[in-house]
Amino acid sequence: MSEKISGGCLCGAVTYEVENDFNRFYFCHCQQCRKITGSAHASNLFTRPDAIQWTTGATYKKQFNYPERDFTVVFCTECGSGLPFVTTSGKVLIVPAGSLDAEPNIQPNDNIFWAERAAWYDEGTHAHKCDGFPR
């Protein structure tokens, strides 16, 4: 059995524990992931569907299934934070990396749907780095 790490939403209404035994880690640049995250890409970890245990607030989870593509998002109804979900096929648990409270066992494998990336993404990786708000 692998080590478990905790995770949850920003407001703390929903928490979970997941086995830190991820087998894939993707940065997804598809248009849907950019819309859902409001960012340049989603950062998703993949593992077995039975690797998670919800510890608090499961009633605050809401699921949206995108009708035109096999695409799902689960989020906290209080703060909107992305949360783990099992794919419609039932074969994979997808965990938004930003919802974890500790580092996962793997580093990102691939940038997927690269052709759909935001035009400003590449230039943004070279922007000035600040430890907080810029002065």
Question: How far is 57 from 15, CA to CA, in rounded Å?
Answer: 7
Number of CB atoms found within 10 A of residue 43's CB: 20
pLDDT tens, residue by residue, 31-50: 989 998 999 999 999 999 99
Question: How far is 5 from 17, CA to CA, in rounded Å?
Answer: 6
pLDDT tens, residue by residue, 36-87: 899 999 999 999 999 999 999 999 999 998 877 777 899 999 999 999 999 8
The number of CA neighbours under 13 Å toward the Cβ of 133 is 1
The residue with greater pLDDT, 92 or 69, is: 92
Q: Of 55, 52, 58, 62, which Cα lies nearest the Cα of 92? A: 52
Question: How far is 30 from 39, CA to CA, in rounded Å?
Answer: 11
Which of 18-27, 57-66, 87-96, 125-134 reaches the highest mean pLDDT?
Answer: 18-27
* pLDDT over threshold 80, residue 128: yes
For the chain, list the domains and their CATH numbers. 4-122 (2.170.150.70)
pLDDT of residue 2: 75
Q: Of 103, 91, 83, which Cα lies nearest the Cα of 48? A: 91
